Amino acid sequence: MLSDIALVSKVVLFRDRRAFEQLVRKYQSPVRRFLLNLTAGDEALTDDLAQDTFLKAWQNMGQFRGMSSLQTWLTRIAYNTFYDHRRRHREEAMPMDGSAPPALLAMEAASPSEATAADVRRALALLREAERTCITLQMIDGEPIDRIAEITGMPENTVKSHLRRGKEKMRTFLTNNGYD
């Protein structure tokens, strides 16, 4: 099994599709999970955005410097792709700040783990976008604050503020829904 750096080198130097496919297979789950949480469970939109993310990664792989992990680099592309999409479709007014979107409410869980994941997305849908992004990156993806600042381009203090407010809302949600 080749390391990420070896695979990235093959993609950059030889435009090696098989090497790139290995990277896609390895990172599709964390990238799609991150976007699924940002879109509050919209699977079709997540799939489109994740595909765009990997296409951008293919086109710009030469810009990956290895200063951070490949997953962080891909997450940053995914985050920018999501926000580009939001800016383009702002007029459609996706009901994501403060109320759950239709895709989430229509979701029917097929297993206990899916039910928990659905609960998590229902909870995340109550947050503002910046709070949701920070909470997702810290609580689900396990990223430290400096890495969240790197991915989102926000100052660290802003990230901390979003995390504090997001966690307060989450605690209230959990308490009100019998999770304590």
Partner 1 sequence: MTENSNKHKDGSDDLLLEQFFRAASAEQLADDGFSRRVMARLPERQTRLSRIWTAACVAAAVALFTATGGWQQAAEGIARLLTTVPTMAQLLQLMLCGAVLTTLAATELMRSESTGLNP
The per-residue b/e assignment along 15-29, b for 16 or more CB within 10 angstroms, e otherwise, is: eeeebbebbbeebee
Phi-psi domain of 144 (left: phi exceeds 0; alpha: psi -120 through 50; beta: other): beta
Helices 17-38 & 4-14 angle (0-180, nearest 10): 120
Check residue 144 for interaction with partner 1 (CB under 8 A).
Answer: no
Check residue 76 for interaction with partner 1 (CB under 8 A).
Answer: no
Q: Interacting stretch for partner 1, rule CB under 8 A, among 74-82, 85-93, 147-155, 163-171?
A: 163-171
Check residue 120 for interaction with partner 1 (CB under 8 A).
Answer: yes
**Of 13, 116, 144, 146, the one binding partner 1 by CB under 8 A:** 116
What angle (nearest 5°) sits at the alpha carbon of residue 52, between those of residues 166 and 25? 90
Closest to partner 1 by CB, 106 vs 112, is 112
Check residue 51 for interaction with partner 1 (CB under 8 A).
Answer: yes
How is residue 72 written in tokens? Answer: 């962080």
38 vs 79: CA distance, rounded Å: 9
146 vs 151: CA distance, rounded Å: 9
Check residue 55 for interaction with partner 1 (CB under 8 A).
Answer: yes
The CB-of-47 to partner 1 minimum distance in angstroms stands at 7
Binding site residues, partner 1, CB under 8 A: 15, 17-18, 20-21, 24-25, 28-29, 32-33, 36-37, 47, 50-51, 54-55, 58-59, 113, 116-117, 119-120, 123, 139-142, 167, 170-171, 174, 179-180
